[in-house]
Structure 1
């Protein structure tokens, strides 16, 4: 069974990007994970200025050549800085090796500024990953909810969009994105509670569910358990662990000549 991890960050220890990436891959090897999508650098920033998100992307770019068959990079952008983010998207995806876009908590994703980034990503065939969460104690000021994400997805119905963490409160997140066939649920980051993956498969179909870990913020083992332990058919597990993500990334991987 091929396992591609949609959602990873550098290991939390190590002096250099290479040391942190090597540690992350060493643990992934023990878990049988074939490829990792890597984004954001260290120390990360919730609302990075352009020089900061460029520096974080440089950290990711620096390790991709050493492990070209293991790591896939997503460019970290801040919609508060649209022109600089568009330039960074071109630098890292159009003219660089990255294959996706990471949007976090600087700006709500249903705002017009995000549309320009999503449209350019679509032109470049890059997969867009938008963090979402519903927090009991209130979200960060610019943090998107699954409902915000649904608004974005409605405006861009012709392109695939990933709902990061499925909103944290996954029961509400799954319901929010279920009618939107261009949306995909990311299983990463929350606790491996019973029923999460089963509900996602039941409401969305196995073809719209993606395995991710959020390592090193979460362990690979706990996040793999969400799929391994789910009461779903083996064919559904194959789709979730790798086949869905491979399908979504195939156009840009082929365009860049990345073997998979």
Structure 2
């Protein structure tokens, strides 16, 4: 069972969202990926207006509309616009088909001003994916680090949150989230470096590590290799490739009456 936490419609061949997701399903079938989670449309915008992130969420909802047996969506929000983001959360999750939240680089997640978004997501049982990075040359304005996320997670200890990319510099990222039991390492979207998954399992336990590809920025094959080629027990690989994500999504899937 392979569930992919981290998929995009950008970087994929096709003039429409329907053409792009159909092409991705061809690749997913080839690699044995059963279910895919999509967030963000195109173009990539680091600081979208409410109108722009609504348009991108519409793209995702259109893309998944013909693939309910395979594809889910996370609502893309800009935490600089708290009220508009709360409205979009209700539109796409409470009253729509989406099952999670994607936060990118517009506002750092250590700012308590974004707490209403986190709290509302928790109320809806929506899984939160927060992009994180430790960049050698310095992060973008508004780009969160795993240390920022650890501060935010401490304010919401009952809400599960995924540290996207495990901070890029994964050795630092894993240590930064180690003592935050509600944080999970999203290992997708970086080079398939030997030892990454092994360290994640040693540091966090296999139950807190989640596979994702970051396709179309990365390939299924390179990202699956991080797990399938890791020197860890098979039971740990099964958790990372799908078991953990299914467990975290089960509450909201049950709430929406979706059987998996």
With structure 1 as the length reference, what TM-score do the two structures score? 0.98
CA RMSD of aligned residues (A): 0.7
Moved over 6 A (4+): none
In structure 1, the residue matched to 2:88 is 88
String of CA shifts for 1:7-49, please: whole Å, max 9, x gaps.
1101522111111111111111100000001000011211000
> SS at 1:75's partner residue?
strand
> SS at 1:105's partner residue?
coil
> SS at 2:198's partner residue?
helix
Contact 1:108 1:143 in 2 (8 A): yes
Distance in 1 separating the partners of 2:48 and 2:10: 20
After the TM superposition, which residues 94-173 of structure 1 pair with which residues of structure 2 at under 5 Å, given as runs?
A: 94-173=94-173
Distance in 2 separating the partners of 1:51 and 1:148: 27
Distance in 1 separating the partners of 2:45 and 2:136: 22
Contact 2:10 2:42 in 1 (8 A): no
Distance in 1 separating the partners of 2:112 and 2:79: 9
In structure 1, the residue matched to 2:6 is 7
Distance in 1 separating the partners of 2:55 and 2:109: 23
> SS at 1:250's partner residue?
helix
Unaligned runs of 5+ in 2: none
Contact 1:44 1:56 in 2 (8 A): no
Quote the offset at 1:113 in angstroms.
2.3
After the TM superposition, which residues 49-88 of structure 1 pair with which residues of structure 2 at under 5 Å, given as runs?
A: 49-88=49-88
Contact 2:102 2:129 in 1 (8 A): yes
In structure 2, the residue matched to 1:227 is 227
Unaligned runs of 5+ in 1: none
Distance in 2 separating the partners of 1:48 and 1:58: 14
Moved more, 33-42 or 11-20: 11-20
In structure 1, the residue matched to 2:218 is 218
Contact 2:10 2:43 in 1 (8 A): no
Distance in 2 separating the partners of 1:119 and 1:139: 26
Distance in 1 separating the partners of 2:78 and 2:10: 22
Give the aligned length.
Answer: 259
Distance in 2 separating the partners of 1:258 and 1:14: 29
1:185 aligns with 2:185: yes
